[in-house]
Structure 1
């Protein structure tokens, strides 16, 4: 069931605190939630005129007061603001105010060069990055590294052939076998060395790959949110300078209400 809040759309400052006023049932009186303060309708009207600083508007009245003090022809807003404003037409009509035109703001991701390199290196699509669909590909890459048996199989095959060579040499005579042993030991050592280097490099590459993917995610979808919800323009301007604004104005289409990606070099 719906619960109707009987509070009015104004806050009252009482003892340096902002408190909400509620309509008392069957009475022309407003009270605070804990009922430690009450005021009649007439007293409320008088105080609004004589001491307006004791009152502040709530979220419903904010647009009305804002557009009364600073009339707007157009209000540019995001999806949440537009959904909210769309419910206020009757409120504007009640206060005999003209409602401004509501225009969707541009939705944008700034795709910097450092992230473009990572994206191309891993062959991620823009959609996969924006929609946070990298986990499956990242996991598959990790599994590929872990399943890499080539060097292990190679080392085992080489050592097996060395043992076979030693066995054949022993059949020809102890002197021949003994003459080969120093070289066999060196080759065996080098095979292990090659294997260790290979596996170490694989491990390093895997670590670098994970770090790069994390950088990409943190830069394009920080905190698993759209970039524009976390970083504002000034964050990027500190890195790229004021010329970034002209590039945004050049590339961004304000009539395109779909999400746009700006590739910035």
Structure 2
């Protein structure tokens, strides 16, 4: 696949906050620990090595082996699982919701970024081992965010009642989804492979978490990916001291809120605001916030209450019932994993960048934060259409009206740029202003008003001429909008809407290896791939 790279800022799809972070703007330095450069990983390794205990490694490895029971895994994944007890083994982690059939394409890009960074680190630091980890967000309860995927402009949706953590949802009803999806796929080798993958995942596993693990393992197992479910009693027991401090002293709130206020003061949008207690309570069909009032603790919208001593006892006896929210999940991850770097999207990194003071306060090393790879995939046929239209890859990312106006101006046999006329008009009015200086302000104001009126008239004429040329060149405009709509469905990035199954139909078994080959997570640019 030929590839091209575009700076994230030039795509106009990434916030100034993330672009400033990538540019290492000095005003953001206080919001992270180490920037994700290859040379900086040595210090990160040493810091994590000193803080991560052998006991945590043993618990982690034992829990993961139990989670993988009954799952067929590759030699590389087995070796990575075995290596986690060694003090020279570290992880690179990404996380994602349990979206139906992986959801948008960037699910793939997150994991490929994680795998490739692990390989880059192994080459640079051969005395250490690096394990790529996919953290399944099994405790999320936003079912409406994950119960569908888009396929060729259609929404394939799973309808069922929701409530509680999604990881334990049964897969009932997904046979109906399979029938719909199967009919849309059609025939062919790649289509049959997708059908089998869906069937094996969702029709032969009883829980959504198990189905998601199956898919991720099938797609990435040969690269040694380790998949972790944080909804695990033994892993959560390691987190008990931090949860207790949260319940008793609201540590995250007191450390994150000032950091969020600093971000806001610098003009950046705050991604997530902390609650006073950033924990949920889990039970069957329930995941609700824990609230403290005057020394008593409550589960929101329920009759469950505790005194302070009672909730601490509940935590000690049943740690699996306590679930971190978005503010505390990063800490939970870093407590139970020997992790060096978290790889996520722009929105994820934005809330992670609120957390480093919180990590310092509980004496847990803050990981490096790396923006995942972003990709636009186009077929060779699409690339030829783009070439014939003389559109650059950078221009493809323009808003559609901006792209149309720019190309019409370029290909029109009439000059649609009225700037020379504007300059001529301004020169004429310059003489009028000299005359006005010899009279009074009322005349000068009249001259100014007339200049503005005539310049606006030129603007209007230019717009009308441009519109007329757009109609005259409607064939070129139609082909231009058609190809952009193909690559940017619903005027959004392809990776945020399109499901991987569309690409798999086109590329088949080459899809993942080609992504592995071309995605460099440390390059820091948007990638355009063509086949």
TM range, smaller chain: 0.5 to 0.7
Aligned mate of 1:219, from 486, 506, 517: 486
Secondary structure in 1 matching 2:381: helix
Note the 1:184-199 alignment, pairs <5 A: none
Task: Tell me the CA shift for residue 259 of structure 1.
Answer: 1.9
Residue aligning to 1:23: 292
Q: Does the Cα contact within 8 Å between 2:373 and 2:521 map onto a contact in 1?
A: yes
Aligned mate of 1:75, from 334, 338, 342: 342
Residue aligning to 1:90: 357
Q: Does the Cα contact within 8 Å between 2:408 and 2:470 map onto a contact in 1?
A: no
Determine if the alignment matches structure 1 residue 102 to structure 2 residue 369. yes
Residue aligning to 1:121: 388
Task: Tell me the CA shift for residue 127 of structure 1.
Answer: 1.9
Relative to 1, partners in 2 of residues 1:209 and 1:51: Cα closer, same or farther, differing over 3 Å? same
Secondary structure in 1 matching 2:339: coil
Residue aligning to 1:136: 405
Secondary structure in 2 matching 1:259: strand
Task: Tell me the CA shift for residue 45 of structure 1.
Answer: 0.8
Secondary structure in 1 matching 2:498: coil
Residue aligning to 2:241: none
Work out the CA distance in 1 between the residues paired with 2:379 and 2:355. Answer: 39
Q: Deviations over 1:13-69 (max 9, x none)?
A: 467432212221xx2112345584432221111101112233211111111222333
Larger mean Cα displacement after TM superposition, 223-232 or 41-50: 223-232
Stretches of structure 1 lacking an aligned partner (at least 5 in a row): 149-204
Work out the CA distance in 1 between the residues paired with 2:407 and 2:348. Answer: 36
Q: How well do the aligned residues superpose, as a CA RMSD in angstroms?
A: 3.2
Determine if the alignment matches structure 1 residue 50 to structure 2 residue 322. no
Residue aligning to 2:18: none
TM-score (norm 1): 0.63
Relative to 1, partners in 2 of residues 1:139 and 1:29: Cα closer, same or farther, differing over 3 Å? farther
Larger radius of gyration: 1
Work out the CA distance in 1 between the residues paired with 2:352 and 2:391. Answer: 38
Q: Deviations over 1:124-148 (max 9, x none)?
A: 2222212233342577788448549
Stretches of structure 2 lacking an aligned partner (at least 5 in a row): 1-260, 262-272, 413-466
Residue aligning to 2:330: 63
Q: Does the Cα contact within 8 Å between 2:290 and 2:297 map onto a contact in 1?
A: yes
Task: Tell me the CA shift for residue 94 of structure 1.
Answer: 3.4
Determine if the alignment matches structure 1 residue 12 to structure 2 residue 294. no
Q: Deviations over 1:219-241 (max 9, x none)?
A: 32222212222235554233112
Work out the CA distance in 1 between the residues paired with 2:516 and 2:301. Answer: 52
Task: Tell me the CA shift for residue 257 of structure 1.
Answer: 1.0
Q: Structure with the greater relative contact order (CA < 8 A, sep ≥ 6): 1 or 2?
A: 2
Secondary structure in 1 matching 2:503: helix
Relative to 1, partners in 2 of residues 1:6 and 1:257: Cα closer, same or farther, differing over 3 Å? closer
Secondary structure in 2 matching 1:90: helix
Task: Tell me the CA shift for residue 5 of structure 1.
Answer: 6.5
Residue aligning to 2:81: none
Secondary structure in 2 matching 1:87: coil
Relative to 1, partners in 2 of residues 1:234 and 1:76: Cα closer, same or farther, differing over 3 Å? farther
Relative to 1, partners in 2 of residues 1:143 and 1:247: Cα closer, same or farther, differing over 3 Å? farther
Q: Does the Cα contact within 8 Å between 1:6 and 1:22 map onto a contact in 2?
A: no
Residue aligning to 1:198: none
